[in-house]
Amino acid sequence: MNESVGGQEAVHVSFRNVQKTYDGETLIVRDLNLDIQRGEFLTLLGPSGSGKTTCLMMLAGFETPTGGEIRLDGNVINRLPPHKRNIGMVFQNYALFPHMTVLENLRFPLKARKLPAADCDAKARRALDMVQLGAFGNRYPQQLSGGQQQRIALARALVFEPQLVLMDEPLGALDKNLREQMQIEIKHIQQSLGVTVVFVTHDQSEALTMSDRIAVFDKGIIQQIDSAERLYEEPTNSFVANFIGENNALAGTVTEIQGSECEVRLDCGTPIRARTGNVAMGERTLVSVRPERVMLDADGDNSVNRLDARVEELIYLGDQVRIRVDLCGNSNFTIKTPISRLDHSMRRGDSIRVGIDAAHVRALDPIQTA
């Protein structure tokens, strides 16, 4: 599903029927229609080869669309060279000049734009202060940690005050703690400056943390574009449900449809009520359930769906417990529950009853058969 959003006066970047192929046969990007709002933090998310990075490279000017138009502030930029697009770029490998000091790295894009020397210095120091590295101007990149280098790369992308910044997997080389810290810092800087950011990642937690909207790509097509909450709670198809967060899937056949709900008879014979997606009577489907939406024992007594399961494994995660059960033939069905709600007498091999509200079960789309 490709989607545009309303309010043309707020549209900063627009893709219209954009396609990209490298061999003339296989489309890496297929008929992309997308509006990016001014001041928005939009993440392009998807597995390797899904087309997200190609979209970013076309917007940056490093790739040319095979078909369609890309507009920036209403102007077609398909064949405008990168240096004339006034777009900041941040890469995973930082791309800092090793023979230049930090300040010289920051002055470089300003000098390239022929700004006076005094302005170059003032803007470079201001950008350095913005990323809280004002005391590091005379150091060389190799004298900085990975996190510091990434801050400098961000400052260099922002130093000439572009309205649009593109980020290609910028945090991929950082360790987990530093990556999480940088996610928050980048988001805060983006919000304070009001700059439009298009961010590419394959890391779903990164996308959920940082984005105003997320465009989920697969096979060159946007499967869904929405807020993090809606993508997680209301995925439009099985690919999105499985790619965003953890998901349990149970196979069955649609036996009844009533408005926005349906009944699916699971392959084990148990009926389950679910919210209806793009399914019809008699179709085979996979119903999706998030692990944290499954209630244990008495907690689920009032749920319309009550199912039997057998405990296969318990994994303690501090504040919560991850329980793997065999449910209706799926031996990898996962339940997440707060430690405070756990019956500590539960053991592997125990038979339990679980409850799932129909609102949290989704029959999203029919099973594709060969």
Residues 307-344 pLDDT 10s: 999 999 999 999 999 999 999 989 999 999 999 988 88
Bridge partners for 249 per DSSP: 288
- Bridge-based pairing state of the strands 41-45 and 196-201: parallel
Q: Give the mean pLDDT of 360-369.
A: 87
For position 7, what pLDDT does the model report? 47
Q: Are 154 and 162 in contact (CB under 8 A)?
A: no
Backbone φ and ψ for 358, nearest 5 degrees, come out as -60, -30
Q: Where does residue 181 rank: exposed (0-12), middle (13-18), buried (19+ CB within 10 A)?
A: middle
With both helix axes pointing from N to C terminus, report the angle between 102-112 and 146-158 in degrees, rounded to the nearest 10: 20
Q: Read off the pLDDT band of 190 (50, 70, 90).
A: very high
Residue 2 predicted with pLDDT over 60:
no
- Between 131 and 291, name the one with better pLDDT: 291
| Domain 246-366 is found in CATH 2.40.50.100 | yes
Rounded to the nearest 10 degrees, how much is the dihedral formed by the CA atoms of 211, 217, 221, 227?
-30
Asked if 40 and 7 count as a contact pair (C-beta separation under 8 A), the reply is no
CATH class of 8-238: alpha beta
- Residue pLDDT, tens place only, 91-123: 877 788 999 999 999 999 998 888 999 999 999
Mean pLDDT of 273-294: 94
Query: How many residues does the structure list for the chain?
Result: 370
Position 6 pLDDT exceeds 50: no
Which of the two residues, 161 and 224, has the higher pLDDT score?
224
DSSP letters for 105-138: HHHHHHHHTT--HHHHHHHHHHHHHHTT-GGGTT
Band (pLDDT 50/70/90 cuts) for residue 181 is confident
How much of the chain, in percent, has pLDDT values that exceed 90?
74
Residue 148 backbone phi and psi in degrees, to 5:
-65, -40
Q: Is 27 a residue whose pLDDT tops 90?
A: yes
Cβ–Cβ < 8 Å for 35, 213: no
The structural domains of the chain, with segments of one domain joined by +, span 8-238, 246-366
Cα–Cα distance measured from residue 190 to residue 165, given in angstroms and rounded to the nearest whole number: 9
Q: Report how far residue 212's alpha carbon sits from residue 226's, in angstroms, rounded to the nearest whole number.
A: 8
**Residue 279 confidence (pLDDT):** 92
Quick check: 370 pLDDT over 70? no
Q: Could you give the CA distance from residue 240 to residue 230 in angstroms, rounded to a whole number?
A: 11
Average pLDDT, the chain: 91
Separation between Cα atoms, residue 240 and residue 221, nearest integer Å: 12
Per-residue confidence at 138, pLDDT binned at 50, 70, 90?
A: very high
Confidence label for 9 from pLDDT (cuts 50, 70 and 90): low
pLDDT at 132: 87
- pLDDT range class, residue 4, cuts 50, 70, 90: very low
Among 32-46, 83-97, 183-197, 300-314, the minimum mean pLDDT is found in 83-97
